[in-house]
Amino acid sequence: MPLLSPILDDRTYDQLVTELVGRIPVYNPEWTDHNDSDPAITLLQLFAFQAENLLYRFNQIPEATYIEYLRLLQVPLKAASPARALLVLTTDKPEGVAVPLGSLARAGKTPFQTLDEVTAWPVSGLAAVRAQSEAPAEADEPEVYEYVLRTLDALPPAMAEQPRIYYETKLPDPADPLSSLDFAEAVDGMMWVAVLAEKGFDRTVWTDPLRPAALLNIGFEPDLPRGGIDSAAACLGLGAGASTPQVHWQISTPRPVVDGQPRYAALTVESDTTRGLSQGGVVRLRLPKSPDDIGLPVVDEDLVGAGDHPPRLDDDRAAKLVCWLRVFRRDGARFGAFRSIVLNAATGENARTAAPEYLGSGNGQPAQVFILANHPVLPDSERAQLTVEVEETGAWTPYRRVDDFLASDRGSRHVVLDPESGRLRFGDGQRGRMPQWGERVRARGYRYGGGDEGNAPAGAISKIDLPGVKVSNPLAAAGGEDAEALEAALLRIPGELRRRGRAVTAGDFRELAQATPGVSVGRAECLPRFHPPSRSAGAAGVVSVVVWPKADPRSPNAPLPDAGLLRAVCENLDAKRLVTTELYVIPPTYRRIAVSVSLQVKSGYGIEAIQRWVELVLRQYLAPLPPYGPAGEGWPLGRRVHGPELEAAALQVEGVDYLEGLAVAFWSEDQHRWIPGTVELAAYEVPEVTSVVVTAGLPLPAPGAGIDPSSDGKVPLPVPVLREVC
């Protein structure tokens, strides 16, 4: 028997008034004054107003019943997630300022709590990479060529016999917030960080024998790998069980050089949330106490930057240089690209830690509920965990948080939390112990907050409650999302009950990927039996999940996820997949296309406005992210781009009389040209709109004419070679 929805009365106030006035001639023909000034009409309007409110409440009954059923199923709404930002703390005090864990910084009224201990020093950092490049030609740059020859001649004989590689020193571009340094192209496989003295710096503070060793925080925000299907990542390599790369930190010393090469001292890593510089976070280093272990070597001017010598800096920065830090992988592998590398860093989270609070006393009844003072409650972390205690026979006894009471017995001290509402629920005496009469209940240690308001732009976090310290965020905060709306939960919960926390079907993988906590997934699609490394479509036991971010400021038309998003989805799905499933989480692969349209505009409409609307409609119709695409879910994977289909979309624009013609073409990397015709996409591909040209009347321009996308449409960042100034 089908489940038929009841037909509810949804008449509005105006409809009720019209219906009542229409019945007057039937029941009272003598009543001819139907204007608002008639007192009886006023009474009818009052009745219609009250009836509309009554019908509104009546129509809520099915929804309220549905919500009550869902509450009985114990499936709560998803709580908000907090945004995170890399904070830089500065000071002009020579002795530095200790910033405790949990200090509050603010972007306006939005709080950010520090997740790292940090000592703010009057220093700044500058990352540099010695990037491999072609040697200059003698005819083109004779002065630079002569300088290179002098450097090679000054090297020790043993090093002079090694392959000679010319490099250029690349520094970050402060004018471009989206720029990054790619350490994969470093000739020495090292990351160099210059420590520069700022106002108030005193070197003797770091080497004072009466003071404890100085601790220096370095924050990293990676420009994590982005790309097509070749950057597919197996979950076994990105999951929580992946090994942490071993890195080695060193600091430059003023000790005499040996065989023409400077000497470095090893540094102790106190803490590292970057997992060996494989993700964003903060590395905390313990600096040496001896003056002989912090400084700059005295070397021949022709050897600056050669061999193990640090990179060359311009005169202004060289005058402020205190020492160099360098780090490299023990296995010889190179680091990736980083958007930001800063000193005096701490991770800030849009959350706060709640103070201990007394919730009330037990009454001996089943399923007792206590409400926390602050919500939504954020997931437990290494630094903060919700602790619920009940005073039993004069002693505070902790209760363990569980998802449900299905595995609880009478004596189980368990409690269930609804994070979004902050409701704590105890057992009923049969499954889970219930607080007895007079037993007090308290909670402490949990974190609360989050929401979309925490996604503060760069530079917005500018206040901190510590004297002598200034705070800033060089990059925008990200990751904050509001709590789940009821409408979204009503669509999600039936799937939750069907999946029961397991990923088996293609829909399970897609829905679980989109629900990955802590990240913003704009879209996810599942490709069963698709093996990304070989691009074969019949691999048994293989499941590939294609993931899009909600937004990508670098490439709005072709958004790509970074490795952090891929890793988060990977870890989420890895815990729910079957043991026999080989799982891959991959970014989308784009096929560049171009569209040309020739149309005629109806009389009375502006040509330029119609052209802009047609271009916008076509771009939205071909967009990969919801709410755009043919069905509002983004362009389907593998669906061909057919000209007549785009014609139907363009004709929906009001003011278009008819189309003279429409042409589509795709860019062939092999042939290095635009190929017109229907664009057939592989099962893992979606279109990237490179250009849309709309003209009034014939001739129809060739799609993609004059556009060469082989350069990826991006202007290279010019980084000059630091040449010797005569």
Q: What is the per-residue pLDDT across 676-704, written as a single tens digit (0 to 9) for each? A: 999 999 999 999 999 999 998 888 888 88
Peptide bond into 644 cis (omega under 30): no
Residue 394 pLDDT grade (very low, low, confident, very high; cuts 50, 70, 90): confident
**Amino acid letter, 440:** R
Whether 201 contacts 121, CB under 8 Å: yes
- Among the residue ranges 74-78, 406-410, 468-472, the one predicted with the least confidence is 74-78
**Closest Cα partner for 461 from 350, 339, 553?**
350
Bridge partner list, 568: none
Q: What's the confidence (pLDDT) of residue 715?
A: 34
Q: Is the pLDDT of residue 265 over 90?
A: yes
Strand 685-696 and strand 589-601: pairing?
Answer: parallel
Query: Could you read off the pLDDT of 579-595 as tens digits, one per residue?
Result: 888 999 999 999 999 99
Whether 238 contacts 585, CB under 8 Å: yes
Q: Is the pLDDT of residue 7 over 70?
A: no
Mean pLDDT over 503-532 rounds to 88
Structure tokens at 413: 């001290």
Residues 6+ positions from 188 with CB-CB distance below 8 Å: 130, 308, 328
Whether 619 contacts 653, CB under 8 Å: no
d(CA 691, CA 410): 67
Q: What's the confidence (pLDDT) of residue 471?
A: 95
Backbone angles phi, psi at 259, to 5 degrees: 55, 35
Q: Is the pLDDT of residue 396 over 50?
A: yes
Q: What's the pTM?
A: 0.72
Q: What's the confidence (pLDDT) of residue 216?
A: 95
Whether 653 contacts 605, CB under 8 Å: no
User: DSSP secondary-structure letter at 375?
Assistant: -
Nearest 10 degrees: CA dihedral of 397, 398, 404, 405?
-20
Helix (H, G, I), strand (E, B) or coil at 387: strand
Residues 6+ positions from 642 with CB-CB distance below 8 Å: 664, 678
Q: Is the pLDDT of residue 146 over 80?
A: no
Strand 414-418 and strand 395-401: pairing?
Answer: parallel
Whether 127 contacts 193, CB under 8 Å: yes
Structure tokens at 433: 């112990």
Query: Could you read off the pLDDT of 97-113 as tens digits, one per residue?
Result: 999 998 999 999 999 99
Query: Which single residue is written with the structure tokens 């829909």?
Result: 507
If one compares 154 and 623, the residue with the highest pLDDT of the two is: 623
Percent of the chain topping pLDDT 70: 85
Q: What's the confidence (pLDDT) of residue 473?
A: 93
6-43 burial, b at 16+ Cβ within 10 Å, e below that, comes to: eeeeeeeeeebbeebeeebeeeeeeeeeeeeeeeebee
Mean pLDDT over 57-85 rounds to 72
Structure tokens at 316: 């202004």
Beta strand segments in 163-312, E: 167-170, 181-182, 191-197, 215-222, 233-234, 247-252, 264-266, 268-272, 281-286
Whether 458 contacts 83, CB under 8 Å: no
If one compares 371 and 4, the residue with the highest pLDDT of the two is: 371
User: DSSP secondary-structure letter at 379?
Assistant: P
Mean pLDDT over 324-345 rounds to 88
Query: Which single residue is written with the structure tokens 């897609």?
Result: 510
Q: Is the pLDDT of residue 202 over 60?
A: yes
Q: What's the N-to-C CA distance of the chain in angstroms? A: 92
Residue 27 pLDDT grade (very low, low, confident, very high; cuts 50, 70, 90): confident
Q: What's the confidence (pLDDT) of residue 172?
A: 82
Backbone angles phi, psi at 610, to 5 degrees: -65, -40
Query: Could you read off the pLDDT of 551-571 as tens digits, one per residue?
Result: 887 788 889 887 778 888 988
Q: What's the confidence (pLDDT) of residue 726?
A: 34
Whether 684 contacts 546, CB under 8 Å: yes
Query: What does the DSSP assignment read for 655-724?
Result: TEEEEEEEEEEEEETTTTEEEES-B---TTEEEEEEEEEEEESSSPPPTTTT--GGGTT---------PP
Structure tokens at 685: 């591909």
**Closest Cα partner for 644 from 666, 626, 655, 659?**
659
pLDDT, averaged across the chain: 84
d(CA 163, CA 152): 11
Q: Is the pLDDT of residue 332 over 60?
A: yes
Query: Could you read off the pLDDT of 653-671 as tens digits, one per residue?
Result: 999 999 999 999 999 988 8
Q: What's the confidence (pLDDT) of residue 483?
A: 82
Structure tokens at 606: 């502006």
Mean pLDDT over 626-649 rounds to 93
Alpha helices in 95-156 (DSSP H): 142-154
Query: Could you read off the pLDDT of 46-66 as tens digits, one per residue?
Result: 988 888 887 777 666 566 666
Helix (H, G, I), strand (E, B) or coil at 593: strand
Q: What's the confidence (pLDDT) of residue 150?
A: 62
Q: What's the confidence (pLDDT) of residue 535?
A: 87
d(CA 351, CA 104): 9
**Amino acid letter, 619:** R
Q: What's the confidence (pLDDT) of residue 478?
A: 85
Q: What's the confidence (pLDDT) of residue 80?
A: 83
Residue 363 pLDDT grade (very low, low, confident, very high; cuts 50, 70, 90): very high
d(CA 496, CA 403): 14
Residues 6+ positions from 495 with CB-CB distance below 8 Å: 507, 508, 511
Q: What's the confidence (pLDDT) of residue 409?
A: 92
Residue 114 pLDDT grade (very low, low, confident, very high; cuts 50, 70, 90): very high
